[in-house]
Amino acid sequence: MAGHRIVRLATGATIAVAVACASAPLAGPLTGVPVAAAGVPDTRLAPGHRRLIFGWEYKERLGSARGDGVARIAPPDSVRIDLFLENGNSGGFVILIADSLTALAQDEARRSLPPEPLLWATLGVVRVTAADTVARQDGDTLRVEIGRDPTWRMTFGTRALGRMERIAGGRVEQVVERGDSTRVVYRQPAAGRSLVLTIRRVIPEPGFDAAIWRP
């Protein structure tokens, strides 16, 4: 969903030469007072089917695109996201069931998709586990790291997921930020890519046709 490359951008040689590949930022140490990892908040999807209506804006070094989208959420572990371009044309779809991802996208576009854990993070859900989990408390902020190279680093405030990073080689490769319940930002710092989702409406639903979970 979040990193779906909606458009293939054609550029001239002059522009291509001007763009340099920046390094991903250093992650830095995990700060705070050590606490039991068992205290990590429960972030499973809340009960009840619902539909999210949102606007999206995608940017990269060579261009941008925007449009609207709808996410259909069926607990405990199923989400379908459909994206539409500004002119009303389809921008593709993503089906995420547990840790299985299906996307309508070319190979180049698929490389812009975040891994499944970060897709879940856009909904405030953490779906990674590992024995080497570390947690630290800093006031009202809880920071958690799961796994090693890659490491998933989460930041929780008032028991809700506020940020999730994928760290490899000591650098932040990808990040999802949830500033509040209406705004989600996904970034690939070194690639210069970002996607901003603005949630406009949340609509309760009695259920969804089973056909939406098939490509």
Q: What is the pLDDT of residues 36-58, one digit of tens each?
A: 988 889 999 999 999 999 999 99
Q: Is residue 13 part of a domain?
A: no
To which H or E segment does residue 184 belong? strand 183-188
- The residue range of the domain holding 127 is 26-213
What residue spans of 6-115 are helical by DSSP H?
13-18, 107-110
Q: Is residue 10 part of a domain?
A: no
Q: Is residue 14 part of a domain?
A: no
Confidence category of residue 215, pLDDT binned at 50, 70, 90: confident
Give whole-number Cα distances, 165 to 143, 153, 211, in Å: 11, 5, 33
Cβ neighbours, 10 Å, residue 76? 10
Q: Is residue 20 part of a domain?
A: no
Number of domains within the chain: 1
Q: Is residue 165 part of a domain?
A: yes
The rounded distance, in Å, linking the Cα atoms of 184 and 36 is: 28
pLDDT digits (tens, 9 = 90+) for 174-194: 999 998 889 999 999 999 999
> Given a cut of 50, is residue 18 above it in pLDDT?
no
- The reported pTM is 0.85
Token pair in block for residue 40: 């990590």
CATH code, domain with 39:
2.50.20.10
Q: What is the pLDDT of residue 144?
A: 96
